[in-house]
Structure 1
Amino acid sequence: MEPQSTPKYQALQPQYRLLVLLVSIGFFMQALDTTIVNTALPAMAQHLQENPLHMHGVIVAYVLSVASCIPLSGWLADRFGLRYVYLSAIIIFTIGSLGCGLSNTLEQLIFFRVLQGIGGALLLPVGRLSLLKIIPREQFLSAINLMSLAGLIGPLVGPTLGGWLVEVASWHWIFLINIPMGLLGVIVTFKALPNIIEPNVKRFDSSGVLMLVVAMVGLTLGIDSFSVKGSSHQIAYILLIAGVIASALYAHHAHNHQNALFRSDLFRHQFYAIGILGNFFARFAGNAIPFVLPLLLQVVFKFEPFETGLMMIPLVLGSLFSKPIVRPLIQKFGYRNVLLFNTTAVGLCVMSFTLTTATTPEWLRALHFFIFGTLNSIQFVSMNTYTLKDLPSQHASSGNSFLSMIMMLSMSIGVAFTGTLIHFYQGTTFHLPIAQAFDYTLLTLGALNVVTMLIFWQIPKQNQSQV
């Protein structure tokens, strides 16, 4: 059998541009709503008469529902068709956004954030799958690059747009702005996306998905329950135990059932197992910082929402700056050295946020945030590429889906863990002033990230520089 030649990359042809626009709309909406809430949390808390330090449930609810529904995306698209599933995802996301914008209590807001997350969980994977199935291979790279711009613009404008909307209108508009984009997405879906259905779809692993959902919800909400003032720790322990048991049951299920979504065969690849474990723990701090810093700036330093949003821009600019330098760094120093050094550097940088004060010069604060954004992006890209780079083709799809799920799960647990830490240091145990509670939280998150370096110590030294 002759080896396949490497496809020659081509510019995107005009007939596929509308499809890329459609997928970009979904990607932008999903990426925007992951970040736009952060700077609006104090204003939302004031309106809903809640403690701003207890508002992390708004973020956790969204991210956790995304993580829980990711395993459904590929099977649903194959079974019911790309157009119907993508259209349903946009409609669910838009209805969830409308509900969030009309919410008058924290409970209502969290409910509709869950609905948003269900739609958001389908937007990106089904959109990416649509490009993969419809666009010719030689034009796929051009399509992905164009779509990725939407994913970069969302986090770039999200915090600043959220802060601006809070000041000039109200926090409700950070959700209501999704309505016109959702309506546009519905119209374009009918024009640009055919309803491609796979003729042979394997039976859905319903029991496995149920175990995964119970595991993710139990672990995340168990940790989050410790941060709820006046709640019984007994409930938290029950949730954590349920999460651990469900995880163990799924591990057994993955080993013994051929129909399992994520077979245990995946973890026989040493690099994949190390990468998944590293991704899970090394993302706690990195994903929590965009949640912690806006609270620190507004609740402790008394910054205005719009000013806080502007201060988040250097984080994203640092991430953009890192993109062209990650590959040369890995080629020169290897995955092992880059991840060992960078994981430690991210942890130390998180700890260094305790040195910032309300009187820190703006240029120095911006530089500090830029450096963290650069290091954090290098961390994420290095971990992701190391995890997937040598995965066999028969495991590529399930391996990538499991990694996506772990990334979102780590974000939800990271934010929940951070809220619990702030409550722990400020509450009945330590009685620390709020500023010191934030400092101790940042020190704990940073130390955990440094310790995670030991996971990457297991990367073999041989052939670990191949990109």
Structure 2
Amino acid sequence: MPNPTDPTDTPDHSALTATVAASRWLPLVVAWPMFLQNMDTTILATALPSMAHALGVPVLHLNLAITAYLLSLALFLPISGWVSERWGAKRLFCIAIALFTLGSLLCGLSRNLPELVSSRLLQGVGGAMMVPVARLILLHHIKPAEMIRAMVWFTVPGTIARLTGPLIGGGVVTLASWRWIFIVQLPLGLLGIFLAWRMVPSDAALKKQGPRASLDAIGFGLLALGLLCLIAGLELGGKSLVSPAVMAALIGAGMVALWFYRQHSASAPHPLIDLQIFRHFTYRTATVGAIPLRVAIGAAPFLLPLLMQVGFGLSPLQSGFMTFAGAIGSLSSRTTLPWMLRRFGFRAVLIAGTVGSSLCYAGYGLFTASTPHAAMFGVMLLGGLFNACAMVALNTLGYSDIPRDKASHATTAATMVNQLSVTFGVVVGSSLLALASRVRGGPGAPLLAIDFAWVFFAIGAFTVLCVLGFRKLKADDGAQMR
């Protein structure tokens, strides 16, 4: 029987103990599906030739498998915040992992291209819910003072997955069937569901925020249409699957739909995503002001394996080992970043991380076939370290001033901007690479290492533009998070 005079037996003490414990393991639990999602996305590109041969289709047609996932992601991202408020973040998180895992299994069992595309659409539904809901869980259950450490653990697994994906994908398709890149996700997904169900705090423990708003159907339609057109235009145009005119028309239609949503949200009583959150300076800076950095982060994992393999003649396995340096650098940030943020503040760390990332991207352009592998490994390790420092600081600072009742709006909007930025980064990287090759050798010229140099120089210069926004931050912005 609890002793009423013993403070350790009070409900408040139990809740505090649970909160402290949550700050230690909860980021790892909610980051588990992020690892699965990013790994799936990166290893698929490596396995496309083997998949095309096995399914008896041209390899270019398998781009539909990637595009289908992204389009499904775009369609369901806008509604993730509303659904989490209606059903509860924990429940939706488990359902999202289950849908993604089921889609992965069906991908591995697919016998033809239509089955594969349909399974990727199902995967996209789960993927659309996992990232914003995972961030929402952290905002609900992690104290502000513990958020830096939580975000370090939350962002590192996804970064590692993006950088090691080509290595793992190359090993799987070399030693086994391409189907195993999907089937192996079944036990990992089931483990993720078990951990989330057992360890994520119950939604019932959260304070009630009043009556639940009805679905903003008009807003959902406008946002879904806008994202679908934008991502379809970037993906299909970037892969030369549609003409430049069609690409421009899709992107234009997407921009118009998003503009109409902006007008609609200003008068809707309960908009699907309340754009008033962008009035918070720290959130706007971390979301919109950091777009150049996120574009670069989308382009680099696409360009580096090509440089290593096409430019320098390394094997996929050798290329994977080289690019793994970025993952090591990202992982090492967890030992230094909390101290740096407490000592120097968000503004200084963001500026230093952005400038360091910019210099590393430009440094990739100086690589040649005669550059020692140890030197390339070291520069890419530093690049991963600087990138991780900047991204963890952004993901923490961005939510420092967001009210609790607007958290779902903020996480959903940020995920949408991030997805568009990364997609745009791949398109920009491939387009600049094609342009550099054409300028050097004319139409149809084969890629050479020198072509990559100009692309990385341009990406490095573009990345440093973030500093213009970060300089406007105050030295004490985000102090409650430190």
- TM-score, normalised on structure 2? 0.78
Matched ranges for 1:218-229 at <5 A: 218-229=229-240
Partner of 1:419: 430
Measured against aligned partners, the alpha-carbon deviations of 1:45-102 in whole angstroms (never above 9, x if no partner) come to: 77677578x9877656545643543332343244346676445433432342234335
Q: Distance in 2 between matches of 1:438 and 1:45?
A: 27
Q: Do the aligned residues in 1 keep the contact of 2:288 with 2:417 (CA within 8 Å)?
A: no
In structure 2, do the counterparts of structure 1 residues 282 and 68 end up closer, same or farther at CA, with 3 Å as the change threshold? farther
Which of 127, 150, 156 is the aligned partner of 1:120?
127
Matched ranges for 1:44-443 at <5 A: 61-63=68-70, 65-66=72-73, 68-80=75-87, 85-86=92-93, 88-102=95-109, 109=116, 112-126=119-133, 148=154, 154-155=161-162, 158-183=165-190, 200-229=211-240, 231-426=242-437, 430-431=442-443, 432-435=445-448, 436-443=450-457
Q: Distance in 1 between matches of 2:396 and 2:136?
A: 19
Q: Distance in 1 between matches of 2:200 and 2:406?
A: 27
In structure 2, do the counterparts of structure 1 residues 347 and 11 end up closer, same or farther at CA, with 3 Å as the change threshold? closer
**1:226 is paired with a residue of what secondary structure?**
helix
Length, aligned pairs only:
457
Measured against aligned partners, the alpha-carbon deviations of 1:342-377 in whole angstroms (never above 9, x if no partner) come to: 323322321221222334322222112101101111
The amino acid across from 1:406 in the alignment is V
In structure 2, do the counterparts of structure 1 residues 452 and 127 end up closer, same or farther at CA, with 3 Å as the change threshold? closer
Measured against aligned partners, the alpha-carbon deviations of 1:225-281 in whole angstroms (never above 9, x if no partner) come to: 433447322211110111110121121122221211322321222222222212323
Q: Give the 4+ runs in structure 1 shifted more than 6 A.
A: 19-22, 45-49, 54-57, 104-108, 130-133, 135-138, 143-147, 186-199
Q: Distance in 2 between matches of 1:443 and 1:104?
A: 43
In structure 2, do the counterparts of structure 1 residues 107 and 302 end up closer, same or farther at CA, with 3 Å as the change threshold? farther
Q: Do the aligned residues in 1 keep the contact of 2:27 with 2:151 (CA within 8 Å)?
A: no
In structure 2, do the counterparts of structure 1 residues 299 and 108 end up closer, same or farther at CA, with 3 Å as the change threshold? farther
The amino acid across from 1:265 in the alignment is Q
Q: Do the aligned residues in 2 keep the contact of 1:67 with 1:409 (CA within 8 Å)?
A: no
In structure 2, do the counterparts of structure 1 residues 79 and 239 end up closer, same or farther at CA, with 3 Å as the change threshold? same
In structure 2, do the counterparts of structure 1 residues 57 and 292 end up closer, same or farther at CA, with 3 Å as the change threshold? farther
The amino acid across from 1:420 in the alignment is S
In structure 2, do the counterparts of structure 1 residues 72 and 99 end up closer, same or farther at CA, with 3 Å as the change threshold? same
Farther-moved stretch of structure 1 (162-171 vs 99-108): 99-108
In structure 2, do the counterparts of structure 1 residues 179 and 393 end up closer, same or farther at CA, with 3 Å as the change threshold? closer
**1:259 is paired with a residue of what secondary structure?**
coil
The amino acid across from 1:120 in the alignment is G
Q: Do the aligned residues in 2 keep the contact of 1:339 with 1:382 (CA within 8 Å)?
A: yes
Q: Distance in 1 between matches of 2:351 and 2:197?
A: 48
The amino acid across from 1:369 in the alignment is M
In structure 2, do the counterparts of structure 1 residues 430 and 220 end up closer, same or farther at CA, with 3 Å as the change threshold? farther
Q: Distance in 2 between matches of 1:63 and 1:157?
A: 21
Measured against aligned partners, the alpha-carbon deviations of 1:393-425 in whole angstroms (never above 9, x if no partner) come to: 343332233223322221122223323333344
Q: Distance in 2 between matches of 1:379 and 1:261?
A: 29
Q: Do the aligned residues in 2 keep the contact of 1:288 with 1:411 (CA within 8 Å)?
A: yes
Farther-moved stretch of structure 1 (226-235 vs 285-294): 226-235
Q: Distance in 1 between matches of 2:201 and 2:160?
A: 27
Q: Do the aligned residues in 2 keep the contact of 1:224 with 1:420 (CA within 8 Å)?
A: no
In structure 2, do the counterparts of structure 1 residues 11 and 371 end up closer, same or farther at CA, with 3 Å as the change threshold? same
The answer for unaligned runs of 5 or more in structure 2 is: 1-11
Q: Do the aligned residues in 2 keep the contact of 1:60 with 1:416 (CA within 8 Å)?
A: no
In structure 2, do the counterparts of structure 1 residues 426 and 456 end up closer, same or farther at CA, with 3 Å as the change threshold? same
Farther-moved stretch of structure 1 (110-119 vs 283-292): 110-119
In structure 2, do the counterparts of structure 1 residues 348 and 40 end up closer, same or farther at CA, with 3 Å as the change threshold? farther
Aligned-residue offset at 1:380: 0.9
**2:461 is paired with a residue of what secondary structure?**
helix
Aligned-residue offset at 1:165: 0.6
Q: Distance in 2 between matches of 1:154 and 1:110?
A: 23
Q: Distance in 2 between matches of 1:146 and 1:348?
A: 22
The amino acid across from 1:76 in the alignment is V
Farther-moved stretch of structure 1 (61-70 vs 396-405): 61-70
**1:278 is paired with a residue of what secondary structure?**
coil
Q: Do the aligned residues in 1 keep the contact of 2:233 with 2:248 (CA within 8 Å)?
A: yes
Q: Distance in 1 between matches of 2:358 and 2:58?
A: 31
In structure 2, do the counterparts of structure 1 residues 55 and 104 end up closer, same or farther at CA, with 3 Å as the change threshold? same
**Percent same amino acid among aligned pairs?**
32
Q: Distance in 1 between matches of 2:371 and 2:361?
A: 16
In structure 2, do the counterparts of structure 1 residues 105 and 340 end up closer, same or farther at CA, with 3 Å as the change threshold? farther
In structure 2, do the counterparts of structure 1 residues 44 and 373 end up closer, same or farther at CA, with 3 Å as the change threshold? farther
Measured against aligned partners, the alpha-carbon deviations of 1:123-181 in whole angstroms (never above 9, x if no partner) come to: 34446667888x8989x98x969984865774575443222112111333212211333
Q: Do the aligned residues in 1 keep the contact of 2:104 with 2:182 (CA within 8 Å)?
A: yes
The amino acid across from 1:301 in the alignment is F
Aligned-residue offset at 1:387: 2.0
Q: Distance in 2 between matches of 1:392 and 1:191?
A: 28
